[in-house]
Amino acid sequence: MAELRALVAVKRVIDFAVKIRVKPDRTGVVTDGVKHSMNPFCEIAVEEAVRLKEKKLVKEIIAVSCGPAQCQETIRTALAMGADRGIHVEVPAAEADRLGPLQVARVLAKLAEKEKVDLVLLGKQAIDDDCNQTGQMTAGFLDWPQGTFASQVTLEGDKVKVEREIDGGLETLRLKLPAVVTADLRLNEPRYATLPNIMGAGPKASASGNGSADVAPMEAGCRRLGQGRPVNRGLPCAESQEEED
């Protein structure tokens, strides 16, 4: 049955290959002029959604991103990979810095209810803050079952079977839909957004909605005090390696 609808959350982060530099005033890292791209785990989540759609198990995929204007590029990439619609919850750049998992989870929960989706897919964590909280909090707000660190997702009628990678090995859960699933590394290998698809995503992107009118992100409860490089503990790593050999 192809009546299921999926919501995929995607985050715009600094590209994994970039050399991170801390700002001189140590309030954060340099983001100006630095290459950004979709969080790798979010790519895996989008890929999974698109594969489910190709198997005709999911009818519509909605991609959501919370953040400043540049998030439109991330949504467009999701559309180029195969999502049908995009929703950009616009947050001014100044406030975006204070946006954390709690606020995003509230937004996602409201959108999931409003769009009446059956499945919410996210990456397990973002590579910039490594929080690993958004998916879990979203499930909490919605009071939906959750399958995190998924390495395999199988839709079975009104249930979803999730195989999770945990410290002890592999755990398999069966969740009743609607549910929240977060993607881990080995779930799949995301496709490239081909240039013809990116071109086609242009009209899709302009037809997509801006979700900020319906959802107001709450005030941030956390405030970042400072950011800096790890302290050099003076341990000669290279030497200890040789000794081990």
Partner 1 sequence: MSGCELFLRTAAAAARSCRALVAFTASHRALRTSPPSRAFAKELFLGKIEKKEVFPFPEVGQEELNEINQFVAPVEKFFTEEVDSQKIDQEGKIPHETLEKLKSLGLFGMQVPEEYGGLGLSNTMYARLGEIISLDASIAVTLAAHQAIGLKGIILAGSEAQKAKYLPKLASGEHIAAFCLTEPASGSDAASIQTRATLSEDKKHYVLNGSKVWITNGARANIFTVFAKTSIVDSDNSVKDKITAFIVERDFGGVTNGKPEDKLGIRGSDTCEVHFENTRVPVENVLGEVGGGFKVAMNILNSGRFSMGSAVAGMLKKLIEMTTEYACVRKQFNRSLSEFGLIQEKFALMAQKAYVMESMAYLTAGMLDQPGFPDCSIEAAMVKVFSSEGAWQCVSEALQVFGGSGYMKDCPLERILRDTRILLIFEGTNEILRMYIALTGLQHAGRILTARINELKRGNVTTIMETVGQRLRDSLGRTVDLGLTGKLGAVHPTVADSANKLEENVYYFGRTVETLLLRFGKTIVEEQMVLKRVANILINLYGMTAVLSRASRSIRVGLRNHDHEVLLANMFCTEAYYQNLFSLSQLDKYAPENLDEQIKKVSQQILEKRAYICAHPLDRTS
Tokens coding 5? 């609808």
Closer to partner 1 by Cβ: residue 136 or 197: 197
Tokens coding 231? 């302290």
Does residue 188 bind partner 1 (CB under 8 A)?
A: no
Closer to partner 1 by Cβ: residue 202 or 209: 202
* Nearest-approach distance from CB 73 to partner 1, in angstroms: 6
How far is the C-alpha of 64 from the C-alpha of 243, rounded, in Å? 50
> Measuring CA to CA, which residue among 180, 162, 182 is closest to residue 172?
162
Placement of tokens 């302290």 in the chain: 231
Does residue 210 bind partner 1 (CB under 8 A)?
A: no
> Measuring CA to CA, which residue among 36, 112, 113 is closest to residue 76?
36
Burial 214-230 (b: 16+ CB within 10 A, else e): ebebeeeeeeeeeeeee
Note whether 152 and 183 are within 8 A (CB).
no
Closer to partner 1 by Cβ: residue 57 or 126: 126
> Measuring CA to CA, which residue among 97, 29, 103 is closest to residue 68?
97
The site string for partner 1 over 158-187 (x = CB under 8 A, - otherwise) reads ------------------------------
How far is the C-alpha of 159 from the C-alpha of 173, rounded, in Å? 10
189 DSSP assignment: -
CA 141 to mean position of chain CA atoms: 17
How far is the C-alpha of 63 from the C-alpha of 127, rounded, in Å? 19
Does residue 234 bind partner 1 (CB under 8 A)?
A: no
User: Which span (104-112, 164-172, 189-197, 228-236) binds partner 1, by CB under 8 A?
Assistant: 189-197
Closer to partner 1 by Cβ: residue 93 or 199: 199
- Residue 168: its H or E element: none
Tokens coding 83? 């999502």
The site string for partner 1 over 2-41 (x = CB under 8 A, - otherwise) reads ---------------x--------------xx---x----
Instruction: Out of 1, 195, 213, 225, point to the residue binding partner 1 (CB under 8 A).
Output: 195
User: Which span (72-80, 134-142, 163-171, 172-180) binds partner 1, by CB under 8 A?
Assistant: 72-80
* Nearest-approach distance from CB 80 to partner 1, in angstroms: 8
User: Which span (117-125, 166-174, 197-205, 236-244) binds partner 1, by CB under 8 A?
Assistant: 197-205
User: Which span (48-56, 142-150, 153-161, 196-204) binds partner 1, by CB under 8 A?
Assistant: 196-204
Tokens coding 122? 């996210």
Does residue 65 bind partner 1 (CB under 8 A)?
A: no
Q: Which residues bind partner 1 (CB under 8 A)?
A: 17, 32-33, 37, 73, 76-77, 80, 192-196, 198-199, 202
